[in-house]
Structure 1
Amino acid sequence: MGCGSAVLAGAHVGFLGIAFAFGLSVLVMCYAIGHISGCHLNPAITISMLSTGKITGKDAGAYIVAQVLGAIIASALLLFIAQGKADYSLAANGLGANGVEDGSPDHYSLVSGLVAEIVLTALFLVVVHGSTSKNNANTKFAGISIGLCLTLIHIVGIPVTGVSVNPARSIGPALFVGGHAISQLWVFIVGPIVGGLIGGGIWKLYDRN
Structure 2
Amino acid sequence: MSYPDAPQPAPPLPHTSAKLLAEAAGTFLLVFALTGTATFSAFFGIEPSNPLGVGFLGVALALGLAVMIGAYAFGPISGGHFNPAVTLGLAAARRFAWREVPAYIAAQLVGAIAGAAAVLAIASGGPLGYLERTLVDGFASNGYGELSPNLFSLFSVIIVEVVATALFLFVILGVTHARANAGFAPIAIGLTLTVLLLVAIPIDNASLNPARSLATAVFAGTPWLVQLWVFLVFPSLGGLIAGFVYATLFDRETTAPGGPAAVGRLEAAAAQPSNSGAPAASAPVPAAAPGAPVASAPRQAPATSQAPPPVQTPAAAQPSASSTAAPQAPPAAAPAPSPTIHPGTAYGSTPPSGTKR
Contact 1:100 1:108 (8 Å CA) reproduced: yes
Q: Which residue of 226, 248, 266 corresponds with 1:183?
A: 226
Contact 1:99 1:181 (8 Å CA) reproduced: yes
Is 1:201 the counterpart of 2:244? The answer is yes
The one-letter code sitting in structure 1 at the alignment partner of 2:108 is: Q
Inter-partner Cα distance in structure 2 for 1:167 and 1:73: 15
Inter-partner Cα distance in structure 2 for 1:32 and 1:94: 30
Q: How far 1:68 moved relative to its partner?
A: 0.4
Q: How far 1:92 moved relative to its partner?
A: 2.8
Q: How far 1:75 moved relative to its partner?
A: 1.1
Cα shift readout 1:62-82 (whole Å, capped 9, x = no counterpart): 110000011111111111111
Is 1:48 the counterpart of 2:89? The answer is yes
Specify the alignment match of 1:21 in structure 2.
62
The one-letter code sitting in structure 1 at the alignment partner of 2:36 is: G
The one-letter code sitting in structure 2 at the alignment partner of 1:23 is: G
Specify the alignment match of 1:61 in structure 2.
102
Specify the alignment match of 1:83 in structure 2.
124
The one-letter code sitting in structure 1 at the alignment partner of 2:91 is: L
Q: Which residue of 104, 112, 135 corresponds with 2:156?
A: 112
Inter-partner Cα distance in structure 2 for 1:67 and 1:163: 18
Superposition misfits of 4+ residues, deviation over 3 angstroms = none
Contact 1:7 1:94 (8 Å CA) reproduced: no
Identity of counterpart residues, as a percentage?
Answer: 44
The one-letter code sitting in structure 1 at the alignment partner of 2:76 is: H
Q: Which residue of 146, 155, 165 corresponds with 1:121?
A: 165
Inter-partner Cα distance in structure 2 for 1:179 and 1:139: 42
Inter-partner Cα distance in structure 1 for 2:155 and 2:90: 26
Inter-partner Cα distance in structure 1 for 2:190 and 2:94: 23
Structure with more of its chain in helix, by fraction: 1
Specify the alignment match of 1:10 in structure 2.
42
The one-letter code sitting in structure 1 at the alignment partner of 2:154 is: L
Specify the alignment match of 1:162 in structure 2.
205
Cα shift readout 1:132-153 (whole Å, capped 9, x = no counterpart): 11121x1110000000000000
The one-letter code sitting in structure 2 at the alignment partner of 1:206 is: F
Inter-partner Cα distance in structure 2 for 1:197 and 1:208: 18
Paired residues, what number? 208
Is 1:149 the counterpart of 2:192? The answer is yes
Contact 1:42 1:167 (8 Å CA) reproduced: yes
Moved more, 31-40 or 49-58: 49-58
Contact 1:174 1:185 (8 Å CA) reproduced: yes
Q: How far 1:96 moved relative to its partner?
A: 1.5
Specify the alignment match of 1:101 in structure 2.
145
- In structure 1, the gaps of 5 or more residues are none
Cα shift readout 1:134-187 (whole Å, capped 9, x = no counterpart): 121x11100000000000001111000100100000001111112221011111
Instruction: Select the structure of larger CA radius of gyration.
Output: 2
Q: How far 1:102 moved relative to its partner?
A: 1.2
TM-score in terms of structure 2 length? 0.57
Contact 2:93 2:246 (8 Å CA) reproduced: no
State the Cα RMSD in Å: 1.2
Inter-partner Cα distance in structure 2 for 1:101 and 1:207: 39
Inter-partner Cα distance in structure 2 for 1:61 and 1:192: 17
Contact 2:57 2:198 (8 Å CA) reproduced: yes
